[in-house]
Structure 1
């Protein structure tokens, strides 16, 4: 096994990786910006190296500085976490050229699945269902109008690169398309350095359901069931749960087999997630693949007992999977609330000093966080400060456990989204499982 791993990330995911490495007997190296010198991942790693000033481009996206830190500390591998360089094929290639193992898929797999057009083409070949849409990028507004009319309105325009809702516009009529097309291309260029977009039929009121997969370098792939990520705001996930209330054993089997087939189609060899939309008739359609560990992986860990990060490290080292599909059993129900340093009404960032901090505990409660009393939440990075995860025998019990845990959670000095999560846990439609990707928009209007 690896002797030492450098974690090219920060915050809760860096700390999450450090914990698994310690349990595996692997030494860790934390990298940090000057603003992050007091962060918990820096304190708990075996070694730490400052890689630049606060802006991400000068630190956590600074490939030269990260590679230098790995060489300086004799780290054999780099774990990118999520975000930052985690889905950057150039970074993966540079690691390989420097004799450092990139803990993730190959650059080739990342390129195929990181581009939504090539990803769609890859999964079509193995029979994975997709929504009707263009097979290539659309570059001209007149072509966009023609294609949209053929597909049928409403349609959705999507950036071929990136995600998170940028470069994504829903269009209900031909008249609205020119402006939406221009805006989507501009957002795609600004966000991802690539203005290319494609068009597909818009699936109205869908569930966002994803399948976690594990794959090794020997061609073995298994899935760990599904997560429901329908509770989202502006295409950003807010609450995730496993399993999904919409999933039947038959649907789980079909989606799981599709996810495994898609992974094998691109010779995938790490952990990853296949994201699907599920319509009102329980038809599912491939949306995209995330070629990294995801924020919401803990709910899958809670219902399967599988340490996703550990399996990712083992796979990168070249070991075979320890599980067959028959070994994977779903037990109970898990819910994750993303706790952000944001105003829970306006959803605006709220950086500042935490003057008092107490995390909840008890049976079936897990908190993945990196903040503490007197820690200052920084304005330079994502506002996520913690993930509160619960597990119980049933969904009803999990909701009650989450509500109890939220009541115990104390964060003073800044505003957080804890009050908003409390509101959702008490919402009748959420409790009854009547949810889709428009849930929060409806809730805000109540």
Structure 2
């Protein structure tokens, strides 16, 4: 049932985005009196799951869920149907329209994707506000694991800036560091700039170490498990660890590391309870855990927005997401980071879906993915919207259109590039599944 929920959520999100994207082409095409022969959700290679002709357009659903398309008369597209191109142009064909009209038609899809994300972010900010952790609220700095240390960070550091830009939100610092070139920290009162190496990032991507950095906390105990050695020793929820074997303890990571390194050893633990110190003795089990959970201080704040305030805030959020995605390409295409191995296709994306229905995730993911589709489609690769835009801009600047042969060859090259990328993406998905059983 969990997998069913994930698949349904993925299909709905992709279907909505594809339909709206194709409507972005369809509506201006119809407005400019251009014939649209097909409007398809998913690709109908060899056959369709459903199709119905209404007016001059066949509407249908294909069986291959890799996107969708509108087939516009008089245009060389992924169908490579060039028969009609050998005839004289008809008034209703794409090639007969002025270049500026064709440009609007081709930019319609990415425009809708961008506007959709803006609308979703606007309403989410209006309804839910913007919740984040201000970097200034991290009184004790950050806590990093071995992966964070490979990047050059140290527990206790305070993040000041990434690539010279002040780090105001701790939530965004992890992504900024992965995508950045250098990070500036306050380490024991000294300002240090640390280069973020490709080798360090490679380890982050190899281990999918998204949680390599969190904020440092005091050793306050939230929960003591029943039948645990901590419970038997007398430790209680609400206690604060202050000493272990007479050595002062100030932070949770210090206590946790001491316990993990003391398997099968006796520890004298001093806690502060109701303003008084109390000592307990226990023996750490083989697994190096004593049965307590940290009382994590909630440092998050929520900014609220009126509807008129949410509109520009939603636009800023959309631009931030777009900017981050553009920056990701620099990391993905740097083979030294190994980030390309973590690019997910449909299988990997389904696994990212929550196992129970979550509307906040649904809308957030739809907005993010809508921006992603807009960015991908506007790339100047033949077979994508951006490829058609590239040829149209050439025509508008030079005053003459590219030849039909150039358009056909460009479409073939673009198709080969896209299929190659799809093979890599699907290969990553399949390999990640195989690795679980090795």
Pick the structure with more helix per residue: 2
Larger relative contact order, structure 1 or 2 (CA cutoff 8 Å, min sep 6):
2
- Scaled to the shorter chain, the TM-score interval is under 0.3
TM-score, normalising length from structure 1? Answer: 0.26
- Give the structure with higher Rg (CA): 2
